[in-house]
């Protein structure tokens, strides 16, 4: 992914320099859109020639983004419902989530995405980096295994599809 950002920056700089020499646009928004489109097209063409997998990961990144957005909205609605109803539904608990993620990037992404989702908070990673301890507001004792499965099949699976 770092190579993609470097290549994109080089392509964007080259396009910006060329357009600047030609004095085509004075409007910065139009210039930004044009630079983005030309740099993106350049990278797409170069990925065909050099067999880079940049564009195979774009749907996976978008899938993770929209999954996170859905989880964020659902968690907010769940907490809002719990606040406005007279009954108290929270059952806080700390669970140990077994990890397939092994690199710092994978573990950090997973921990941060869980922390950004209301109702969950990443607390710690075990010494051997095999478990992530997560505090959950809604963790019934009989549903802990299904919650772990949801987290692994949701966030971790999508993150690993991008990073590996």
pLDDT in tens, 49-85: 655 666 778 789 889 999 999 999 999 999 999 999 9
- Cα distance between residue 6 and residue 52, in whole Å: 13
Instruction: For residue 148, give both structure tokens.
Output: 């772990």
At a CB cut-off of 8 Å and minimum separation 6, what does 99 contact? 107, 110, 125, 129, 130, 131, 132, 156
Phi, psi of 94 (to 5 degrees): -110, 130
* Residue carrying structure tokens 């990073």: 163
Correct CATH for 55-163 of 1.10.10, 2.60.40, 3.30.70, 1.10.3210 = 3.30.70
Specify the pLDDT at position 27: 61
Specify the pLDDT at position 125: 97
Specify the pLDDT at position 45: 73
Specify the pLDDT at position 44: 73
- Give the residue extent of every domain in the chain: 2-52, 55-163
Distances (CA, A) of 8 to 24, 27, 46, 98: 21, 22, 11, 36
**pLDDT lower than 70: segments of the chain:** 1-8, 15-29, 31-32, 46-54
pTM: 0.73
């Amino acid at each position: 992914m770092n190579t993609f950002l470097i290549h994109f920056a080089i392509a964007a700089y080259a396009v910006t320099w060329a357009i600047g020499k030609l004095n085509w646009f004075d409007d910065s928004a139009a210039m930004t859109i044009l630079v983005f489109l030309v740099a993106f097209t350049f990278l797409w063409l170069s990925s065909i020639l050099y067999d880079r997998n940049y564009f195979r990961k774009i749907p996976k990144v978008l899938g993770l983004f929209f999954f996170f957005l859905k989880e964020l909205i659902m968690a907010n609605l769940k907490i809002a419902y719990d606040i406005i109803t007279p009954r108290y539904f929270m059952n806080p608990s700390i669970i140990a989530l077994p990890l397939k993620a092994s690199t710092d990037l994978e573990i950090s992404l997973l921990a941060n995405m869980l922390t950004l989702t209301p109702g969950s908070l990443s607390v710690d990673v075990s010494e051997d980096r095999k478990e992530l301890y997560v505090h959950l507001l809604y963790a019934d004792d009989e549903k802990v295994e299904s919650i772990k499965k949801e987290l692994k099949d949701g966030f971790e699976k999508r993150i690993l599809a991008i990073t590996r």
